[in-house]
Structure 1
Amino acid sequence: MSRPICKRCHYPIKTCVCNAVSKVNCQTKIYVMQHPSELKAAKNTVRLAQLCLPSIEVFIGEEPDDFKSIKNLPPENTFLLYPDDNAVNIETLAQKDKQQINLIILDGTWKKAYKLKMKNPWLTHFKTLSFANLPENQYIIRKSKRSDSLSSLEAMAYSLEVLENIDTQALYNVLNKMMTNFIKN
Structure 2
Amino acid sequence: MSRATCALCHYPLKTCVCEAVSNIDCQTKIYVMQHPSEVKAAKNTIRLAQLCLPNLTVFVGEESDSFKEIQSLPAENTFLLYPDDNAVEVEKLDLENSQKINLIILDGTWKKAYKLKMKNPWLLKFKTLSFANLPENQYIIRKAKRADSLSSLEAIAYTIEVLENADTQPLYNVLNKMMGSFIKH
- Shared fold (TM-score, shorter chain, > 0.5): yes
- Point out 4+ residue stretches in structure 1 off by more than 6 angstroms: none
Secondary structure at 1:123's aligned position in 2? Answer: helix
1:50-69 aligned at under 5 Å gives the runs 50-69=50-69
- 2:84 corresponding residue in structure 1: 84
- Which secondary structure state, in structure 1, belongs to the residue aligned with residue 122 of structure 2? helix
The separation in 2 between residues aligned to 1:99 and 1:89, in whole angstroms, is 17
Q: Find the residue that maps to 2:66 and give its secondary structure.
A: helix
For residues 171 and 79 of structure 2, the distance between their equivalents in structure 1, rounded to whole angstroms, comes to 21
Q: What aligned pairs does 1:159-178 form with structure 2 within 5 A after superposition?
A: 159-178=159-178
Contact 1:98-1:163 within 8 A present in 2 as well: no
Q: Which amino acid aligns with 1:147?
A: A
The number of residue pairs the alignment matches comes to 185
The residue matched to 2:156 in structure 1 has which SS? helix
Task: Name the SS for the 1:104 alignment partner.
Answer: strand
The share of aligned pairs that are identical, in percent, is 77
| Partner AA of 2:145 in structure 1 | K
Q: Any idea what the Cα deviations from partners look like across 1:27-82, whole Å, max 9, x if unmatched?
A: 00000000000000000000000000000000000000100000000000000000
Please list every run of 5 or more consecutive structure 1 residues that lacks an aligned counterpart in the other structure. none
Q: Aligned equivalents of 1:98 and 1:37: distance in 2?
A: 36
Tell me the CA shift for residue 95 of structure 1. Answer: 3.2
Larger deviation, residues 143-152 vs 95-104? 95-104
Residue aligning to 1:135: 135
Give me the whole-angstrom Cα distance separating, in 1, the residues matched to 2:170 and 2:151. 15
Structure 2: which amino acid aligns with 1:55? N
Q: How far apart, CA to CA, are the structure 2 residues paired with 1:84 and 1:97?
A: 26
AA at the equivalent of 2:53: L
SS at match of 1:113: helix
Per-residue CA deviation, residues 108-144 of structure 1 (Å, 9 max, x unaligned), is 0000000000000000000000000000000000011
* CA RMSD, Structure 1 to Structure 2 (Å): 0.8
1:183 aligns with 2:183: yes
